[in-house]
Amino acid sequence: MSCHRPDTQRYSLTILALVFALHGLNFPSPAQNPQDDEVVRVETALVVLNVTATNGSGGYVHGLEQDNFKVYEDGQQQRITNFTREETPFAVALLLDISGSMEGRVSMARSAAIRFLDGLRTDDVAAVYSFHYKVEQVQEFSHSRDLSPVAYQFSAKGETALHDAIVRAAGDLGRRPEKRRAIVVLSDGADNRSEASADKALATALAVNTTIYTVDMSDRPNGSYKSAPVAAGGLREFAAKSGGRFVPTPGGKALRDAFGEILEELRNQYTIGYRPTNRATDGRWRIIKVEVDRPEVKARTRRGYRLAR
**Residue 105, Cβ density class (10 Å: 0-12 exposed, 13-18 middle, ≥19 buried):** buried
User: Domain for residue 16, yes or no?
Assistant: no
**Any idea what the CATH number is for the domain that residue 263 is in?**
3.40.50.410
Closest to 246 (Cα-Cα) out of 257, 256, 260, 232:
232
Query: Which pLDDT tens digit goes with each residue over 12-56?
Result: 434 334 333 334 333 333 333 434 444 455 555 789 999 999 999
Is the domain of 126 the same as that of 274? no
User: Domain for residue 135, yes or no?
Assistant: yes
Residues facing residue 180 across a β-bridge:
90
Is the domain of 282 the same as that of 136? no
User: Domain for residue 162, yes or no?
Assistant: yes
Is the domain of 177 the same as that of 251? yes
User: Domain for residue 216, yes or no?
Assistant: yes
Is the domain of 165 the same as that of 127? yes
Is the domain of 48 the same as that of 102? no
User: Domain for residue 14, yes or no?
Assistant: no
pLDDT at 13: 39
- Is the Cβ–Cβ distance between 192 and 225 less than 8 Å? no
pLDDT less than 50: residues of the chain: 1-39, 222-226
pLDDT at 33: 40
User: Domain for residue 23, yes or no?
Assistant: no
Is the domain of 243 the same as that of 97? yes
Range of the domain at 187: 90-267
Is the domain of 172 the same as that of 235? yes
Is the domain of 61 the same as that of 210? no
pLDDT at 228: 60
Is the domain of 239 the same as that of 282? no
Task: Quickly list DSSP for 8-65.
Answer: HHHHHHHHHHHHHHHTGGGS--TTS-TTGGG---B-SS-EEEEEEEE-TTSPBPP---
Is the domain of 74 the same as that of 215? no
User: Domain for residue 10, yes or no?
Assistant: no
Integer Cα distance of 43 and 149 in angstroms = 38
Is the domain of 261 the same as that of 298? no
Q: What is the pTM of this model?
A: 0.82
Is the domain of 263 the same as that of 275? no
User: Domain for residue 3, yes or no?
Assistant: no
Tell me how many domains the chain contains. 2
